[in-house]
Structure 1
Amino acid sequence: MADELNVIGFDAIPTPPEGFRSGFVGIVGRPNVGKSTLMNALIGQKIAITSPVAQTTRNRLRGILSTPQAQIIFVDTPGIHKPQHELGKILVQNARVAIASVDLTLLVVDGSVTAGRGDEFIVELLRHNRANVVLGINKTDQQSEQAEALNQSYEVLAAEQGWPLFKFSALTGEGLEPLLQGLIERLEPGPYYYPPDLVTDQPERFIMGELIREQILLHTRQEVPHSVAISIDRVEEDKTITRILSTVHVERDSQKGILIGKQGSMMKTIGAAAREQIQKLIMGKVYLEVFVKVVPKWRQSRNQLNDFGYRIEE
């Protein structure tokens, strides 16, 4: 199953041609600027969940793009924001670690609004880290008649730091090719780090859990979205179907009630939508069973965070 997906399963890594470039590119920015949508668009396949809810990305997810010219390992990071709980602190710290560990940083900003304090904070963070930075203005498809004024606020930031600037829409694809070429040109000559047909280094179970969480983000807009953690408890495969047992962990009984819904209607909707996405992932039939469990204040507990896979990366 995994080999068909090109998600895991390391085959022989080829010798790169002359002039081949490679490296790690960190995608950073404020929450909800379109970082995950951008990575999916560049990879050409959905590996990161997207949502209109801010702070969707939690884990440092790697997406791998191999072209005849280069191999880019994109590192999608949590949105940099002021943390409100222990989970938030871990996410922001992991984003900072990513900035320090990549070859090139792509700072993504929301081109539908002017530059704000959040953007300026990240610019200052990157400047102090002496990062090699490219500034990308996303959401150009959402710019109004004031596009020139919106872009200018970011152009000033880029000019002050001497950073190259690209304008694009991750949603429509406009401007992505120049961006990609600009990133490749700024990478050093290097080897294949992964087999060319691989699109992510994350295991299938992780992506299954993320696809379930995505549907919760899309269908519940109250207190639930940021209070859930997903565990994939069991995966059983046979020739005709893959059976998946998962648990959604929430912090309060009220959140459990919202997730389950009247006579289980909400969980049926979430489960059906998640099953459809997972079937696309594994290219096969799926039976998905989802339970909901209350774990009070799990976002404040380092032990619980570790159990759910959230820890400070090095």
Structure 2
Amino acid sequence: MKRGCKVDFLFLNIIGEKLMFDVSKVYNFLIARYTFTYTPKMFIIDGKEIIESIKNEVPDNLRQIAYKIVLYKISELIAQKNNYLALVSGESIAQKSSQTLKSLLFIEKQISITMLRPLLSFDKIEITDKARQIGTFSSSEKIKEYCDLSEGPVTTAPHELDMKKIPSFKKEIDKGVKNVLIKKGVLMIKDTKQINIPFNSKIVSIDIRPSTKQKNNPIKTDKQMSYSKALKNLDFFQKEKIYLIVCEFGVLSENLSFEIKKRGVKAIGLSVNAFKNYSKKN
């Protein structure tokens, strides 16, 4: 998107409603902040049956490899049907077992479409720093563990004989692509986050949305402060207070709350809708 390319998204939902909610928050935040002149689409595939098949039919040490191959094949089919030029992933070399150079090359051989990896040479620290910079670190942290299917050591240098141990999963892949759900633009999600803190004088609510958002959709908070200013002034937050940090989708607010809590201060990140629900009850 930064280089002017139009980007759509693919989400393989391997858990259910909770994972859909967490991913939707990050997706909504990214497209609202970084897309211009077009409306992105999200391709949503129910992956629970695929995951069960992988767990039942693939040796434990190859499950991560099998999962990645299935994800690549699904992506390729959708790309071919919709005339996309390439796939993009967030993989980096050797960040995890299925991302060693041998693993990446082995997996990529299973498809023919071009694969782009903008983070290929980034290490873990650089990736987390970038996530903190754009404001998605805390939300992304909640999502990443869902994809770990292994229960022990994982193959880091797969070879061609390993493919004989991994079924094609053609039936599951075709079914998933056939039943794909396509959503355009911001996803409507119901934020049911519960805040079990009775209203009292220690609570300070802060709206960190841009001024234009505050003007177009005003909410009553104790203070307004930009996200960047808050990050640069963490000393402002006092240990005797409890802070409710509010942003549009709850992504930046969760990230800021994470940084505040690291300093021993109580803070909760909320979306606008979650904050409105809290305000109604108090």
Higher helix share: 2
**Normalising by structure 2, what TM-score?**
0.33
Higher strand share: 1
**Normalising by structure 1, what TM-score?**
0.30
